[in-house]
Amino acid sequence: MKHTVAEVKLKNGAKGLVIHVPDASVMTYDINFRAGEYLVKPDKWEVPHLMEHVLLGANELIPKARDFHAELEKNGAYSNASTGVYDVTYEAECAEFEWLRVLELMLIAIAKPLFLEDEFNAEFGNVQEEMTARANNHFRRLSLEMRKAIGFIAKTDNERLKLMHNVTVDNVREHHKRTHFTSNMRFVVAGNFTPGRMKALKSCLESIELPRGTKRFPLPAEKPKILDKPLYVSNDTVENLYFYIDTFKRSRLTESEADALNLLNTYLTETLYSKILGTARERGLLYDMNSGLSQTKDASNWWFGAQVSEKNSKALADIFISELSKVCRADLKQDDIDATKQYALGRFQRSAQTVGGTANGYSNRYFFDGVIEDYYRIPERIKDVTKEEMVKVANMMFDERVWILGVLGNCGQDLVNDLYKQLSVLW
């Protein structure tokens, strides 16, 4: 969608992005605090998550959760919240005609929650149900186990369920008081913000009744460890193998390096004619796979994951080795690279068809490290990636020999060891 972006720095120390989308009929809000699990003691891990669940409930204006939600949603508005290792984010979307009313309600909930004991107890049960459901996600379980093994901040859902009983409503209140201050607050709002509405928006955000505090909490230091063996998570109920292959660079990628790696990832895995997935599908070895690039404050990670039967696992590993080896020795055809760019350009265009989709294009990076993406440069950045940059960044991701193979299933340790030895030639 056509839009303009402005960074707004408020008198109370908060700052954020205002995305003006002319003629938009909806508005979206994402309000973020660095308040995730890394800021609590390990035995109190679930404090931020429980805080997030209870916060959008009873508050000083509307002292009952159901009544608050009924008031906020009466014209079809939507609200939610999420918690991660680093952040807690509150979000809302509403019709353009009630944008200020919904924003004011969200800010009251964030600043003046009551954290009632009975609502805490109810949400405690809801979080237990949520975590139990998540624990049945085998990819999620394996990913969290691998994060722990490599040295990142993580706990599995079953571990979190056991730790929940350490959390009291007073812990939740204390965490809110410690983390919810305006210097620690970031926001991304999107919609039709005319000059008059921009003035009202700033006034509303500056009036939030939170202390100023000092500065935003810094991100934690997380550098992956060098491991000498694979991770095997035994689960006798699983027939296929769930696996992830992660390789790391122990520093952040530059923008151009990240662009090259993202394009290379598309080239290898993201279409049914891509080099790894396409080849595996042609041979009937697996149905689908996922892959991507992620970064922490101190490291970059390129990962691949899929389900595969035990009988097809070694043949699939051979495809990984063959195609990644070709990339690392610059055996890529320019026609294939050009086709990948065309796909990436079309996917980018599809990602920004809504106000919310446009806002999401900015929020992740802005909340993470304060960088404002130049959205309109992305097509040019995709076109500018060269074969040489793709080869260079691929080798860079293997040069430090920091990697992990994780497998969840009932195949036994011997097969996992064989796959680890087979794949290790890449490093």
Looking at the structure, tell me whether residues 89 and 155 fall in a common domain: yes
Q: Where are the beta strands (DSSP E) in 267-419?
A: 289-295, 300-308, 402-409
In a domain, 201, yes or no: yes
Looking at the structure, tell me whether residues 285 and 149 fall in a common domain: no
> What pLDDT, on the 0 to 100 scale, is given for residue 111?
98
How far, in Å, CA of 155 to CA of 164, rounded?
12
Looking at the structure, tell me whether residues 273 and 159 fall in a common domain: no
In a domain, 214, yes or no: no
Looking at the structure, tell me whether residues 303 and 391 fall in a common domain: yes
Last residue of a domain, one of 206, 241, 270: 206
In a domain, 138, yes or no: yes
> What pLDDT, on the 0 to 100 scale, is given for residue 351?
78
CA 91-92-95 angle, 5° bins: 160
Please give the tally of structural domains in the chain: 2
> What pLDDT, on the 0 to 100 scale, is given for residue 257?
98
In a domain, 417, yes or no: yes
**One-character DSSP codes across 16-27:** EEEEE-TT-SEE
Looking at the structure, tell me whether residues 155 and 23 fall in a common domain: yes
User: Buried (b) or exposed (e) across 312-344, using 16+ Cβ within 10 A?
Assistant: bbeebbebbeebbebbbeeebeeeebebbbebb
Looking at the structure, tell me whether residues 168 and 262 fall in a common domain: no
Residue 169 lies in domain: 4-206
> What pLDDT, on the 0 to 100 scale, is given for residue 375?
87
Looking at the structure, tell me whether residues 276 and 421 fall in a common domain: yes
Looking at the structure, tell me whether residues 96 and 165 fall in a common domain: yes
In a domain, 287, yes or no: yes
Quote the pTM value: 0.94
Supply the CATH number for residue 168's domain.
Answer: 3.30.830.10
In a domain, 403, yes or no: yes
In a domain, 53, yes or no: yes
Is residue 13 within 8 Å of residue 183, measured between CB atoms? Answer: yes
Per residue in 337-354, pLDDT (tens digit) is: 999 999 999 998 887 788
Looking at the structure, tell me whether residues 328 and 418 fall in a common domain: yes
Strand order in the sheet with 231-234: 231-234, 402-409, 241-249, 300-308, 289-295
Query: With 0-12 CB in 10 A as exposed, 13-18 as middle and 19+ as buried, what is 96?
Result: middle
Looking at the structure, tell me whether residues 189 and 245 fall in a common domain: no
Positions in the chain short of pLDDT 50: none
How far, in Å, CA of 295 to CA of 277, rounded?
23
